[in-house]
Structure 1
Amino acid sequence: MVSWGANTDSQQVRSKESERLRQLPKRIYPTSLERPIKRVCPMGTTVSVDVVRFAPKGYKTFEASTSEGLLYNVEGTKFNFSFSGHPSRWYLQPSCRLILKALAPSSKMFSDWVKITYFKSGEEHSDHVAMMNVTCVSISLTVENYQDKVKSQEGKKMHKGRTFSPWRGPIMLVNCGCKNKYPPDTEKYEEEILDKKAIHRMSKMFLRIHSPLGFFNTHQLTINCSHPNKVRLFGVERPTINPPYRMVLGPNKPSHVLTHLRNRERRKFYVEALSFPDADFSGLVSFTVSLLDNSYGKVSGPPIHNVGLVFRVAPWIMTANTQPPVEIYMTNTLKQWPLYPWRFWKYTKGKLPIRWLTGSSKTKSRRNRSMPDSEFMTTVLDYSYVAHCELTFCPKNKIRLDTWIGNEVAIGYTQSPQRCFPVFLDFPWTKGLEDFKFKDSLPSSFGYVIHEREDDDNLDATGFLEVSPPVTAHGIFYPLGRILIGDGGLPRENIIEVNQRLRTFIYAQNMQDPLELFSEWLLEGNVKEFLTFVPANDGKGFRLLLASPSACYELFKMEQRHGHGNASVLDAVEEELLSYAERARMSISEILADELLQRQNDYVQTCITWNRMILKEELGLSEGDIIDIPQLFRLGWIQDPTTKKDVLRAGHLFPNMLNMIVLGSYLGIPKPFGPLVNGVCCVEKKVQSLLEPLGLNCLFIREFFGHQGDEGDAYYWLNIRREPLPYKWWNFII
Structure 2
Amino acid sequence: MSKQRTVRLKCGKPTQVIYVLGTELSIDVYKPSPLGSQTFEVRSSPGVKCFISDQHNVTMVAEHATRWALNKGTLLLVTMEKTSNYVSDSKVTVTFYGEKLESPIDKIIVQLTAVSISLDVDADRDGKVEKNNPNKASWSWGPNGHGAVLLVNCDKDDVAASEPDKSDNAVPIFEDLADMSQMVLRTEGPNSLLPGYKLQLYISTSDNEKAQVFQHSLTSMIHVLGRKKLSFVMDYTKGNNEYNFFVEGLKFPDEGFNSLVTFNLSLLKPMTVGEAPIFTDRVIFRLAPWIMTPNTLAPEEVFVCCVPGNKKFLKEFTAVVEKAKCKLTVCPEAVNFKDRWMQDEIEFGYTEAPHKYFPVVLDSSRDGGLEDFPYQNLLGPDFGHVTRTSDEVNSLDSFGNLEVSPPVTVNGKKYPMGRIIIGSAFPTTSGGRSMAKVIRNFLYAQKVQSPNEDYSDWLYVGHVDEFMSFVPAPDRKGFRLLLVSPDVCCKLFMKLQQEGHGEAQMFEVLLCVSQPGLKKQTVKINEILSNQKLRDDNTYVQQCIDWNRDVLKRELGLDEEDIIDMPGLFELNKSHQAAGAFFPNMVNMIVLGKHLGIPKPFGPLINGKCPLESAVCSALEPLGLDCNFIDDFAAYHLLSGEVHCGSNVRRKSFALKWWNMEM
Normalising to structure 2: TM-score of the pair?
0.87
Partner SS for 2:488 = helix
Residue 247 of structure 2 corresponds to residue 271 of structure 1: yes
Residue 38 of structure 2 corresponds to residue 64 of structure 1: no
2:312 equivalent in structure 1? 375
Query: By how many angstroms is 1:40 displaced?
Result: 2.5
What do the CA deviations read for 1:643-690 (whole angstroms, capped 9, x no partner)? xxxxx3222211111110111111111011222222211111111100
Residue 589 of structure 2 corresponds to residue 660 of structure 1: yes
Query: By how many angstroms is 1:245 displaced?
Result: 2.3
2:151 equivalent in structure 1? 173
Residue 302 of structure 2 corresponds to residue 328 of structure 1: yes
Structure 2 CA distance, aligned partners of 1:566 and 1:469?
42
Query: By how many angstroms is 1:496 displaced?
Result: 7.4
* Cα gap change, 1:147 to 1:164, in 2 (>3 Å): closer
Structure 2 CA distance, aligned partners of 1:96 and 1:181?
65
CA contact (8 A) 1:194 1:247 kept: no
1:114 equivalent in structure 2? 92
Counterpart pick for 2:572 among 635, 640, 647: 635
Partner SS for 1:222 = strand
Partner SS for 1:573 = helix
Structure 2 CA distance, aligned partners of 1:564 and 1:330?
38
The unaligned stretches of length 5 or more in structure 2 are 136-140
Partner SS for 2:636 = helix
Counterpart pick for 2:198 among 201, 220, 224: 220
CA contact (8 A) 1:77 1:93 kept: no
Counterpart pick for 2:215 among 235, 238, 246: 235
Q: Which amino acid aligns with 1:406?
A: Q
Q: Which stretch has the larger CA shift, 586-595 or 393-402? A: 393-402
Residue 300 of structure 2 corresponds to residue 300 of structure 1: no
Partner SS for 2:508 = coil
* Cα gap change, 1:246 to 1:618, in 2 (>3 Å): same
Q: Which amino acid aligns with 2:239?
A: N
Query: By how many angstroms is 1:591 displaced?
Result: 2.5
* Alignment coverage as a number of residue pairs: 646
RMSD in angstroms over aligned alpha carbons?
A: 3.7
Residue 539 of structure 2 corresponds to residue 602 of structure 1: yes
Partner SS for 2:117 = strand
* Cα gap change, 1:87 to 1:108, in 2 (>3 Å): closer
1:669 equivalent in structure 2? 598
Query: By how many angstroms is 1:454 displaced?
Result: 5.6
Query: By how many angstroms is 1:69 displaced?
Result: 3.6
Query: By how many angstroms is 1:220 displaced?
Result: 0.7
Partner SS for 1:528 = helix
Structure 2 CA distance, aligned partners of 1:655 and 1:727?
37
Q: Which amino acid aligns with 1:679?
A: G
Superposed, 1:62-461 pairs within 5 Å as 62-78=40-56, 90-119=68-97, 123=101, 126-143=104-121, 164=142, 166-178=144-156, 179=159, 188-189=168-169, 192-193=170-171, 195-215=173-193, 217-226=195-204, 227-236=207-216, 242-259=218-235, 262-294=238-270, 296=272, 299-301=274-276, 303-332=277-306, 334=307, 336-337=308-309, 374-396=311-333, 402-403=339-340, 405-430=342-367, 436=372, 439-442=375-378, 444-451=380-387, 453=389, 455=391, 460-461=397-398
Structure 2 CA distance, aligned partners of 1:675 and 1:557?
13
Identical-pair percentage: 37
Structure 1 CA distance, aligned partners of 2:368 and 2:565?
41
Structure 2 CA distance, aligned partners of 1:2 and 1:307?
12
Query: By how many angstroms is 1:547 displaced?
Result: 1.0
What do the CA deviations read for 1:72-108 (whole angstroms, capped 9, x no partner)? 3333434799x99999655545444333223122223
Q: Which amino acid aligns with 2:208?
A: P
Superposed, 1:542-553 pairs within 5 Å as 542-553=479-490
What do the CA deviations read for 1:36-95 (whole angstroms, capped 9, x no partner)? 3333221122222222323345545544343334333333434799x9999965554544
Q: Which amino acid aligns with 1:255?
A: S
Query: By how many angstroms is 1:571 displaced?
Result: 3.2
Residue 611 of structure 2 corresponds to residue 682 of structure 1: yes
Structure 2 CA distance, aligned partners of 1:155 and 1:84?
30
Structure 2 CA distance, aligned partners of 1:29 and 1:611?
67
What do the CA deviations read for 1:324-349 (whole angstroms, capped 9, x no partner)? 111111123x2x13xxxxxxxxxxxx
* Cα gap change, 1:401 to 1:477, in 2 (>3 Å): farther
Superposed, 1:8-47 pairs within 5 Å as 28-47=6-25
What do the CA deviations read for 1:373-425 (whole angstroms, capped 9, x no partner)? 74001111111111101111224467978145311200111222232221111
Structure 2 CA distance, aligned partners of 1:123 and 1:322?
84
Structure 1 CA distance, aligned partners of 2:446 and 2:526?
51
Structure 2 CA distance, aligned partners of 1:470 and 1:602?
32
Structure 2 CA distance, aligned partners of 1:80 and 1:514?
54
Q: Which amino acid aligns with 1:715?
A: H
Structure 1 CA distance, aligned partners of 2:345 and 2:588?
16
Residue 626 of structure 2 corresponds to residue 697 of structure 1: yes
Query: By how many angstroms is 1:577 displaced?
Result: 10
Q: Which amino acid aligns with 1:474?
A: N
Structure 1 CA distance, aligned partners of 2:62 and 2:182?
55
Query: By how many angstroms is 1:150 displaced?
Result: 10
Normalising to structure 1: TM-score of the pair?
0.79
Structure 1 CA distance, aligned partners of 2:269 and 2:379?
49
2:640 equivalent in structure 1? 711
1:49 equivalent in structure 2? 27
Q: Which amino acid aligns with 1:232?
A: Q
CA contact (8 A) 1:427 1:451 kept: yes
* Cα gap change, 1:538 to 1:529, in 2 (>3 Å): same
CA contact (8 A) 1:530 1:547 kept: yes
* Cα gap change, 1:625 to 1:430, in 2 (>3 Å): closer
Q: Which stretch has the larger CA shift, 686-695 or 520-529? A: 520-529
Q: Which amino acid aligns with 2:90?
A: D
Query: By how many angstroms is 1:453 displaced?
Result: 3.3
CA contact (8 A) 1:2 1:307 kept: no
Query: By how many angstroms is 1:307 displaced?
Result: 1.5
* Cα gap change, 1:681 to 1:474, in 2 (>3 Å): same
1:729 equivalent in structure 2? 658
Structure 2 CA distance, aligned partners of 1:147 and 1:595?
63
Structure 1 CA distance, aligned partners of 2:216 and 2:538?
68
Structure 1 CA distance, aligned partners of 2:580 and 2:515?
15
Q: Which amino acid aligns with 1:717?
A: G
* Cα gap change, 1:43 to 1:693, in 2 (>3 Å): same
Query: By how many angstroms is 1:495 displaced?
Result: 9.6
Partner SS for 2:544 = helix
Query: By how many angstroms is 1:263 displaced?
Result: 2.1
Query: By how many angstroms is 1:271 displaced?
Result: 2.2
2:138 equivalent in structure 1? none
CA contact (8 A) 1:428 1:450 kept: no
Partner SS for 2:597 = strand
1:564 equivalent in structure 2? 501
Structure 1 CA distance, aligned partners of 2:165 and 2:76?
51
CA contact (8 A) 1:399 1:430 kept: no
Partner SS for 1:658 = coil
1:468 equivalent in structure 2? 405
